[in-house]
Amino acid sequence: MRVWIIFLLCLAGHAMAAPAVEDAIMEELVTEEPVAEEVEVGANPVQIEIGEFDEAIEVVEEEEEVFTENPCLEHHCKKGKVCEVDESNTPMCVCQDPSSCAPAEGDFEHVCGTDNKTYDSSCHFFATKCALEGTKKGHKLHLDYIGPCKYIETCLDSELSEFPLRMRDWLKNVLVTLFERDEDNNLLTEKQMLRVKKIFENEKRLQAGEHSLDLLAHDFEKNYNMYIFPVHWQFGQLDQHPVDGYLTHTELSPLRAPLIPMEHCTTRFFEECDADKDKYIALEEWANCFGIKEQDVDKDLII
Ligand SMILES: [Ca+2]
Ligand SMILES: [Ca+2]
């Protein structure tokens, strides 16, 4: 049960820091289109900063040349790749040499691949995956979880059925926490706020904390409607690359990767969630895994 408290904290943290977590894992999917630097037309930020010191002007010109002549500055590569220019000064993304990754500062930076190998950091992992691009092995290799590889107990059937009970409650609590902290209105959209407000104001709401499975099951039955939105919301958070109503292994990573070392049923849960075994979790499959009735699955709830 203690694990779930940590889990809750992490989760609140995760949701708050969603962009950062997603950056780490989702960059794998970022397309290689050049990203324009935000420089105002006619403005030269370097000159403005240096001002009128004569000595500095030469430096300014040098920096300006680097800025205009290095096309890599405006060329974004997905994780595992770095930008290089060819003979005609055209930028291109090439696989990063794992030895050029910053050394890991501790175990917490290690990641475990689906090949059951520990990589020093996600940088090392993605660089290795890049080198295997186009091979069957590379296609199958994913980041499995955060932290060094370790023995993960088999998930028993009885334990598997407990998983959605806690997960649903947790999703609901994350949303309520976001609602409470959202002073600047940038964690949730207005429509989301309205939905969560209803949950927040429901006096019969089970407060965040340690609850027995019986109580969680009872609450789900009693306050079923309260759980519909959080389940849809989490799906929408993950379905981003692309937004298509299906979750790939990589899209699921921001949720799975921190969870697996703490919750040994995570892998099995998401595997079984893909009921038709096509390697994608559709919204209907997702909702069903969390006990949401078919008639309540509504893609318009993903707002
Ligand atoms: Ca998707
Ligand atoms: Ca499926």
User: Which string of DSSP letters, residue by residue, matches 53-84?
Assistant: -HHHHHHHHHHHHHHHH-GGGGB---TTEEEE
Q: What is the pLDDT of residue 68?
A: 59
Give the range among 63-72, 100-109, 247-256 with minimum mean pLDDT: 63-72
pLDDT tens across 135-169, in order? 999 999 999 999 999 999 999 999 999 999 999 99
Give dist(CA 267, CA 34) in Å, integer: 36
Element (H, E) at 2: helix 2-16
pLDDT score recorded for residue 30: 42
Q: Given this model, what pLDDT does residue 74 score?
A: 87
Assign 279 a pLDDT band (cuts: 50, 70, 90): very high
Q: Please write the tens of the pLDDT for every residue from 28-66.
A: 444 344 444 443 444 443 333 333 333 433 344 444 444
- Sorted by where each begins, the domain ranges of the chain are 5-54+153-302, 71-146
Residues in Cβ contact with 67 at an 8 Å cutoff, skipping those fewer than 6 apart:
46, 73
Nearest to 128 by CA among 80, 178, 167, 68: 80
Identify the bridge partners of residue 282 per DSSP, sorted by sequence position: 246
The rounded mean pLDDT for the chain is 82
Which of the four pLDDT bands, split at 50, 70 and 90, describes residue 228? Answer: very high
What's the CATH number for 5-54+153-302?
A: 1.10.238.10
Tokens of 300: 């318009």
Closest ligand to 270 CA? Answer: 2
pLDDT at 50: 35
pTM (2 d.p.): 0.73
Token output for 260: 């697996």
* Ligand that comes closest to the CA of residue 284: 2
Q: What is the pLDDT of residues 283-301, one digit of tens each?
A: 999 999 999 999 999 999 9
Three-class SS string for 106-170? Answer: CHHHCEEECCCCEECCHHHHHHHHHHCCCCHHHHHCCEEEECCCCCCCCCCHHHHHHHHHHHHHH
Q: Which whole number is the average pLDDT over 64-69?
A: 54
Q: Please tell me the number of the ligand nearest to residue 279's CA.
A: 2
Q: Is 38 helix (H, G, I), strand (E, B) or coil?
A: coil
Q: The tokens of 10 are what?
A: 């992490």
Q: How far is ligand 2, taken at its centre, from the CA of residue 205, in Å?
A: 32
End-to-end CA distance of the chain: 32
C-beta separation of 28 from 78 below 8 A: yes
In the predicted model, is pLDDT for residue 117 greater than 90? yes
Cα separation, 47 vs 44, in Å, equals: 5
Helix crossing, 2-16 with 157-181: angle to 10°? 40
Confidence check: pLDDT of 107 > 70:
yes
What's the gap in Å between 282 CA and the centre of ligand 1? 9
CB 239 within 8 Å of CB 302: yes
- When comparing pLDDT for 106 and 46, which is higher? 106
Q: How far is the CA of 241 from the centre of ligand 1 (A)?
A: 5
Q: What's the CA-to-centroid distance between 290 and ligand 1, angstroms? A: 19
Report pLDDT for 182: 84
Ligand 2 centroid to residue 6 C-alpha, Å: 30
Output the six-digit token pair for 7: 């889990």
Q: Between the CA atoms of 183, 7, 228 and 245, what dihedral angle is there, to the nearest 10 degrees?
A: 90
Of the candidates 100, 127, 117, 97, the residue with the CA atom closest to the CA atom of residue 28:
127
Ligand 2 centroid distance, CA of 285 (Å) = 7
pLDDT at 237: 94
**CATH classification code of 71-146:** 3.30.60.30
Q: Tens digit of pLDDT for each residue in 163-210?
A: 999 999 999 999 999 999 987 778 888 889 999 999 999 888 898 889
Measured in angstroms, how far is the CA atom of residue 124 from the centroid of ligand 1? Answer: 25
Cα of 48 from ligand 2 centre, angstroms: 55
Of all ligands present, the nearest one to the C-alpha of 286 is 2
